[in-house]
Structure 1
Amino acid sequence: MSIELQNLSYEYSSPKTLVLNTINLKINTGEVVALMGGSGSGKSTLIKIISSFLKPTSGKVLINGNEVALNRPFKSIAYVSQSSIKTLFPWLTVEQNIYYPNTLRNQLNSETKEYCNKLLKTLGIEKIRKSFPLKLSGGEQKRLSLGVALSYRPEIILLDEPLSGIDFKLAEELWDILYSDFQTRNPTVLFVTHSLDEATILADRVIFLNGNKQISEAESSNNNFETNGLTNHNERYKLLFNPTVIAYRNYLLETFNIAMNE
């Protein structure tokens, strides 16, 4: 599924503040795109608009050519926010939360249950499947929120810094799981990150929300370095010492700095 933003703007009414200014963007089917920008630049707002949780002041969001309506998300879009607990149902168990998206779509059957059960095991939360979200640690809530997002095999995944606030080791473990899913199923992905290293080695393309509240785009790496199959973070991060990757990372940093000063 593709994502297209046409002349998209958003502003707060009180006080009147421009957050996004005439955004035009096309993300192709199967593309993994990193979204970067300074604090308060509108990254989370943009993700929420694409997810249909916010209505743009003007402009359109198109998914496969079809316009997104407020609070009418497409069935094959997953959204994971910075706050895991907000995307979970506290009155449902871990297992029930994982099953729920398939139940909602009338596709909970033996095959989808088996897939969800494998996710529970992969995410390391199989032993707490009968627990409730509010009884879980922050790391366990992060694992569960990712499991819910992946449970129905969405064609579009929107990630708003979902691994913020957890230790580096756990974040890398969960990125391994996400990246493996990207490589296996080839969904369209837009993820917000503050990490230039993540953007360099995980994304096909990197975009920036600049000082004018518009999109600045870095040139693609053009696959000058190969990450396919590197589903272990240790293997991927070795790439950061590759001269070609170092040059591309430096280019991204320069582009980011220019964008922030526009």
Structure 2
Amino acid sequence: MEYTMQDVTLLGAGKLGSALLRGWQRAGRLPGRAVTKSEATAGMVRECFRIPAGTSIDEALVGTRTIIVAVKPHQWPEVAGTLEAWGDGGGTLVSVMAGVDCDALRRRVSDRVDVVRAMPNVLCSFNEGVTAVADGAPAHVRALFAPLGTVLDVPEGSLDAFTALTASAPALVLRLMEGFTDAALALGLPADSAQAVAAQVFRSTGAWLAQSGEHPAVLRKRITTPGGCTIAGLMELERARSAVGFADALLATARRASELGATKSVLPKS
């Protein structure tokens, strides 16, 4: 069976949903339609992305073969109530919600619907994202996210951890970049130069790590000269426990991702 983007309906156009739309727009692969919570947001989608958009899920599902659920986890029970009659002829539901597992999703849709979890991050908007898809995802689901960056197969039980490492990590990395920029300003660099240097250093260091295939510690030691300025800076980071603090922050986001599904009621199928 051949799948096309015209068969896809996106539910939700918040931060993550909008990031997906921007990435698909850049790749020339926008979905067939979108459904949003408000008419104002639907109007924004129609204007910016030139695809049909509205607030009625029932109307949008006519002819839809793949649904991407990009609403907040606590909104899932309300959305699920409109999906129970969909998919009797088959279909695919792809959830990009944190903390709502496949069992909770399957309880609310037809047995003939394939349910898949995926976890993209906001960097998909620049086609530089990372998306985890649960092991065993159909090829057409992987194809949805392939234009947006790297796609990785991950056991479903690890998706919440993946949320910490990719979906939440950009904000944490940006906080580090703020510190880098502040230091550059303190050293007398103009603000625009400070930000440009920060962006390039983080970008090129990431590229070096990806291309080398080596552990970060190996690369770090390679460019650290005994008695030099680099080791002085590294010792200051050690005194501040920066590496441990960053790891703790990532672990906190993983715990919160697990809590999101548990603290919001996901009603059983009636």
TM-score (ref. length: structure 2): 0.33
| More helix per residue | 2
Which has the larger strand fraction? 1
The structure whose RCO (Cα within 8 Å, separation 6+) is larger is 1
